[in-house]
C-alpha cells in the first residue's frame, strides 16, 4: 500500500520540480522568440506596430500572409552574410584569445594557496561590480589617439605618431577579450581546482616531465572546463552590441550593430527579426554540440555506475 | 667491517644493501614530520614502514619517490645518490593509495604511459604492457576505463603500471586500504607472490600490522617521525624493544615491577599486580631494584581452574568477560590486585567440559620463556 502510494506520488513530485524552469523558459525565452519569429515573417508597415499581422480576417475569410522579404534580403545581400561571417570570426578569435590568456590564469589561481586563491578570484570577479558600459568607456579613454596608451608610449619614446587602435577591429578585440575573459576563467578554474594532484604525481613518478604531465594529464582532464568557458565567451560575443558600437570603426561588421540599425535607425522590424532568427540558428549549432558532449559524458558516468554495480 | 655511519643496522651479516636512508629529516613549517631516520633495505626485500597516521611513514615514502625534498640527510639507491633527483628521473615507481589511475585513459594506456615517457618503441611498449597485465591477470580488461573496474581490479592495474618500467625500487602506499576486508588477506598473499616473481625491491607503508606481518620480510615500527624498532616480523613480535612496539604489534599484557633477583640466565621480578613474582628466563641489563616493564602475549597465558604448583609466573583472578572470536576466545580476567589481563584461549580448550566461564575464579599462568622484559 505504502509502496503503491510512493510510486504514485513520484511522477507528480518530479513534475512539480520541472514545472518552474519550464514555465520560466516558456514565458521568457520561447514566447519572446516566437514573437520575434512571427515578426520576421511580417511585412513592413508604417504605424504602430510597424509590421503587418500574419493572420487577418478579411471578408470572413482567414488569410495567412507570410513574407520572406527579410530572409530573401539576408541571403541575397552580401553585406549580411559578410556580417555573420565577421561576427562568428570575431567571436572565435575572442574565444581563442580568452583561452590562451585565461588558461594560465585559471591554472595559476587553482594551483595557488587556498588563502591567496580567494583574493585572486575576487580580482577576476571585481570588474563585474562596475557597469560594462563604464568599463568600455574606460577603454575608449585608454585606446584613443590622445589616450593613456598612446601618451605613455610616446612619453617613453617608443613611438612618435599615435597608434590607431580606437575605432578599429583591434579595439573591438581588446574590448571583447577584456569583457569576456572572466567567463572563461571561472568555469575552467572550477574544473582545475578539482583536479586530483596525485594524478600529476603519478605522471611524474612514471617519468613524465612537468610539461608532458600537463599536456597528457591536466589538459585533457580540464577539457570540460575549457569547453564550458569557450561557450560562455563565444555565444554572447557573436551578438555583442555595446563593445563594437563603442570601440569599433564604421567598417566593424557585427550582428548586434546590424540588428540595432534595423530596429532603431531603419525601424524595419521584420528585417531585424529575420537577422535575429538566423543568428539564433547560428548559435544553436555550437550549443547543440556542447549539449551532445555533456549528454555523452553523463551517459559515460551512468555506464560507469552500472559497471560498478 | 666497521660501520661508522651511525646506528648499526638491526640485521647482521653481509647481505647486500640496496636502499640506504641516511639521517633523513623532513620539516614542514614548524612541525618535524621525520626526524633523523636511517635504514637500509636489501635487494629483493619487501620492507614495511609500520605506524599509525601522522607518524611520518608516508612522508618518508614520498621522499623516496621524490615528491618531497629532504630537509637534510641522503638517500642512496643501488649505490647512487638519488637525494636531489626529481621524481621523473628516479628509477623508482609507486603504487598510490588511491591508485591514481588516469581516468581519461584505458587500462592499456595507463600501463603504457610510463614506457611512452621513456621513448620505448611502440611494438615493445605493446609487448611489455601485456606482459605486465598478464602478470596481474588483467589482460582481458585492456580496453576498459579505470572507472569501469572494481577496486581490486584497479589495484592490479595500478600494480602493473608501477611494475612495467621495471623499477629498481617499488613503493606501495597503503596498498590494501581501498579494498574490502574480505579480499584483503587473499590480495596480500597474491601481491607478495607477484613481487617475488618479479624480484623487485619494495618498500611499503601501512598502518595495519597484520598487513605488514603478512607481506614484509622486515619491518620498521615508526612513531613521531622516528623508527622505534626494525627487524623481521617474528623478531619484532617476540622481542619488542619498548612498550610502544609491544602494544602496537599485536596485543599484549604489560606489567610494571622491580627486579629482585638478577642472575645471568634469569631474573625475578616482583609486581604489585601479580600474585607471584615473574620469572623471566633471559638476563637483562638493568640493575637490581630497577623498575621495569614486562610484556606477556595473551596467547601465552593459560587459564586454569587449579592453582599451579610452581613458585612463580601465575596469578589469581576472576573471568570478567569472554569474547568469542571463532578460532579462539578472548578472556578478560580481573586479577586480585584489580589489574586486568587478557588471555587467548584456543577453541580446543574451550570445548572441554570444565572450561572456565564468566565470573568463574581462575588462575592464570605462563611459562618461563613467554615473558619479555622491555627496556623502555
Q: Does residue A273 register a pLDDT over 70? A: yes
In chain B, pLDDT over 70 holds for what percent of residues? 96
Q: Is the CB of A307 less than 8 angstroms away from the CB of B147?
A: yes
Q: Does residue B9 register a pLDDT over 50? A: no
Rounded mean pLDDT of chain A? 88
* CA distance linking residue A104 with residue A109, whole number of Å: 9
Is residue B194 within 8 Å of B117, Cβ to Cβ? no
Res A208: pLDDT: 96
Which residue of chain A is at minimal alpha-carbon distance from B87? A205
pTM: 0.81
Is residue B70 within 8 Å of B83, Cβ to Cβ? yes
Angle at B297 between CA B292 and CA B298, to 5 degrees: 130
Res B11: pLDDT: 41
- List alpha helices for B88-232, DSSP H: 107-118, 122-135, 151-163, 181-198, 209-215
* CA distance linking residue B357 with residue B352, whole number of Å: 11
Res A211: pLDDT: 96
| pLDDT, tens digit (0-9, with 9 covering 90-100), for B229-285 | 999 999 999 889 899 999 888 888 999 888 888 888 888 898 888 888 888 887 777
Res A301: pLDDT: 67
Res A125: pLDDT: 92
Q: Kindly indicate the confidence band of residue B2, based on its pLDDT and cuts at 50, 70 and 90.
A: very low
For the segment B83-99, the average pLDDT, to the nearest whole number, is 95
Question: Best mutation site among A198, A205, A220, A225 for testing chain B: the one with the most B CBs within 10 Å?
Answer: A205
Partners of B113 on chain A (C-beta within 8 Å) are: 203, 206, 208, 216
Q: Does residue A303 register a pLDDT over 80? A: no
Q: Does residue B46 register a pLDDT over 60? A: yes
Partners of B101 on chain A (C-beta within 8 Å) are: 202
| pLDDT, tens digit (0-9, with 9 covering 90-100), for B160-218 | 999 999 999 999 999 998 888 888 888 999 999 999 999 999 999 999 988 999 999 99
User: What are the angstrom distances between the C-alpha of B274 and each of B99, B254, B314, B362?
Assistant: 50, 11, 7, 13
Res A306: pLDDT: 60
| pLDDT, tens digit (0-9, with 9 covering 90-100), for B134-152 | 999 999 999 999 999 999 9
Closest CA to B174 of B207, B148, B201: B207
Who among A199, A205, A304 is closest to B87 (CB)? Answer: A205
In this predicted model, which residue has the larger pLDDT, B27 or A48?
B27
Res B10: pLDDT: 41
Res A143: pLDDT: 93
User: What are the angstrom distances between the C-alpha of B176 and each of A58, B8, B139, B187?
Assistant: 83, 32, 22, 8
Res B349: pLDDT: 79
Is residue A302 within 8 Å of A308, Cβ to Cβ? no
In this predicted model, which residue has the larger pLDDT, A127 or A14?
A127
Res A120: pLDDT: 95
Who among B66, B88, B101 is closest to A208 (CB)? Answer: B88
For the segment A194-207, the average pLDDT, to the nearest whole number, is 95
Q: Does residue B3 register a pLDDT over 70? A: no
Closest CA to B99 of B89, B91, B111, B87: B111
For the segment A60-69, the average pLDDT, to the nearest whole number, is 83
Partners of B161 on chain A (C-beta within 8 Å) are: 206
In this predicted model, which residue has the larger pLDDT, B13 or A21?
A21
Res A304: pLDDT: 60
Res B5: pLDDT: 39
Q: Does residue A138 register a pLDDT over 90? A: yes
| pLDDT, tens digit (0-9, with 9 covering 90-100), for B23-33 | 999 999 999 99
Q: Kindly indicate the confidence band of residue A1, based on its pLDDT and cuts at 50, 70 and 90.
A: very low
Query: How distant is the Cα of A300 from the closest Cα of chain B, in angstroms?
Result: 10
| pLDDT, tens digit (0-9, with 9 covering 90-100), for B104-136 | 999 999 999 999 999 999 999 999 999 999 999
Who among A204, A303, A308 is closest to B87 (CB)? Answer: A204
Res B284: pLDDT: 74
Res B69: pLDDT: 95
Res A300: pLDDT: 72
Res A82: pLDDT: 92
In chain B, pLDDT over 90 holds for what percent of residues? 63
Distance of CA B102 to the CA centre of its chain: 30
Give residues with Cβ within 8 angstroms of B366, minimum separation 6: B296, B300, B301, B302, B313, B314
Amino acid at each position: 500500500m505504502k509502496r503503491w502510494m510512493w510510486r504514485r506520488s513520484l511522477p507528480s513530485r518530479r513534475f512539480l520540480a520541472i514545472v518552474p524552469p519550464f514555465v520560466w523558459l516558456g514565458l521568457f525565452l520561447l514566447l519572446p522568440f516566437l514573437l520575434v519569429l512571427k515578426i520576421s515573417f511580417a511585412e513592413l508597415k508604417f504605424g504602430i506596430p510597424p509590421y503587418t499581422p500574419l493572420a487577418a480576417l478579411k471578408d470572413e475569410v482567414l488569410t495567412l500572409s507570410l513574407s520572406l522579404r527579410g530572409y530573401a534580403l539576408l541571403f541575397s545581400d552580401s553585406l549580411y552574410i559578410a556580417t555573420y561571417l565577421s561576427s562568428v570570426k570575431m567571436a572565435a578569435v575572442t574565444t581563442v584569445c580568452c583561452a590562451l590568456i585565461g588558461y594560465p590564469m585559471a591554472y595559476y589561481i587553482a594551483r595557488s594557496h587556498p588563502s591567496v586563491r580567494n583574493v585572486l578570484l575576487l580580482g577576476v570577479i571585481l570588474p563585474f561590480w562596475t557597469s560594462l558600459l563604464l568599463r568600455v568607456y574606460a577603454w575608449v579613454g585608454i585606446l584613443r589617439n590622445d589616450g593613456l596608451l598612446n601618451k605613455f608610449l610616446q612619453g617613453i619614446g617608443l613611438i612618435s605618431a599615435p597608434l590607431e587602435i580606437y575605432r578599429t577591429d583591434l579595439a573591438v578585440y581588446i574590448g571583447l577579450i577584456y569583457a569576456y575573459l572572466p567567463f572563461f576563467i571561472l568555469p575552467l578554474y572550477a574544473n582545475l581546482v578539482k583536479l586530483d594532484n596525485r594524478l600529476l604525481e603519478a605522471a611524474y613518478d612514471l617519468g613524465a616531465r612537468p610539461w608532458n604531465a600537463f599536456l597528457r594529464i591536466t589538459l585533457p582532464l580540464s577539457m570540460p572546463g575549457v569547453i564550458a568557458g569557450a561557450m560562455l565567451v563565444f555565444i554572447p560575443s557573436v551578438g555583442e552590441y555595446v563593445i563594437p558600437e563603442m570601440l569599433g570603426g564604421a567598417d566593424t561588421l557585427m550582428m548586434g550593430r546590424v540588428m540595432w540599425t534595423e530596429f532603431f535607425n531603419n525601424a524595419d522590424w521584420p528585417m531585424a527579426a529575420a537577422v535575429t532568427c538566423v543568428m539564433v540558428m547560428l548559435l544553436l549549432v555550437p550549443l547543440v554540440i556542447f549539449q551532445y558532449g555533456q549528454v555523452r559524458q553523463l551517459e559515460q558516468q551512468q555506464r560507469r555506475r552500472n559497471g560498478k554495480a | 667491517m666497521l660501520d661508522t655511519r651511525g646506528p648499526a643496522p638491526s640485521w647482521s651479516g653481509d647481505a647486500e644493501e640496496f636502499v640506504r636512508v641516511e639521517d633523513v629529516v623532513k620539516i614542514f613549517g614548524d612541525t618535524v614530520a621525520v626526524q633523523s631516520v636511517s635504514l637500509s633495505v636489501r635487494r629483493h626485500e619487501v620492507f614495511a614502514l609500520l605506524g599509525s597516521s601522522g607518524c611520518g611513514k608516508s612522508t618518508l615514502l614520498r621522499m623516496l619517490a621524490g615528491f618531497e625534498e629532504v630537509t637534510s640527510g641522503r638517500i642512496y639507491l643501488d649505490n647512487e645518490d638519488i637525494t636531489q633527483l626529481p621524481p621523473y628521473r628516479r628509477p623508482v615507481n609507486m603504487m598510490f593509495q588511491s591508485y591514481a589511475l588516469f581516468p581519461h585513459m584505458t587500462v592499456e594506456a595507463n600501463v603504457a604511459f610510463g614506457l611512452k615517457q621513456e621513448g620505448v618503441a611502440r611494438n615493445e611498449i605493446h609487448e611489455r604492457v601485456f606482459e605486465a597485465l598478464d602478470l596481474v591477470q588483467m589482460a582481458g580488461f585492456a580496453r576498459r576505463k579505470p572507472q569501469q573496474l572494481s577496486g581490486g581490479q584497479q589495484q592490479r592495474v595500478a600494480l602493473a603500471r608501477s611494475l612495467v618500467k621495471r623499477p629498481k625500487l617499488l613503493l606501495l602506499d597503503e596498498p590494501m586500504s581501498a579494498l574490502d576486508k574480505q579480499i584483503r588477506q587473499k590480495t596480500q598473499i597474491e601481491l607478495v607472490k607477484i613481487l617475488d616473481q618479479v624480484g623487485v625491491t619494495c618498500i611499503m607503508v601501512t598502518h595495519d600490522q597484520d598487513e605488514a606481518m603478512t607481506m614484509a620480510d622486515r619491518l620498521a615500527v615508526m612513531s613521531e617521525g622516528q623508527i622505534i624498532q626494525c627487524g623481521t616480523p617474528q623478531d619484532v613480535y617476540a622481542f619488542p624493544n619498548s612498550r610502544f612496539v609491544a602494544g602496537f604489534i599485536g596485543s599484549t599484557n604489560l606489567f610494571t615491577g622491580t627486579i629482585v633477583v638478577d642472575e645471568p640466565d634469569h631474573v625475578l621480578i616482583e609486581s604489585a599486580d601479580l600474585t607471584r613474582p615473574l620469572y623471566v628466563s633471559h638476563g637483562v641489563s638493568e640493575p637490581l631494584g630497577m623498575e621495569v616493564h614486562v610484556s606477556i602475549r595473551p596467547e601465552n597465558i593459560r587459564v586454569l581452574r587449579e592453582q599451579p604448583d610452581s613458585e612463580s609466573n601465575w596469578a589469581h583472578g576472576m573471568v570478567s568477560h569472554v569474547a568469542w572470536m571463532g578460532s579462539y576466545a578472548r578472556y578478560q580476567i580481573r586479577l586480585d590486585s584489580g589489574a586486568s589481563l587478557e588471555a587467548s584461549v584456543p577453541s580446543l580448550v574451550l570445548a572441554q567440559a570444565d572450561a572456565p566461564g564468566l565470573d568463574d575464579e581462575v588462575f592464570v599462568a605462563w611459562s618461563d620463556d613467554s615473558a619479555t622484559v622491555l627496556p623502555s
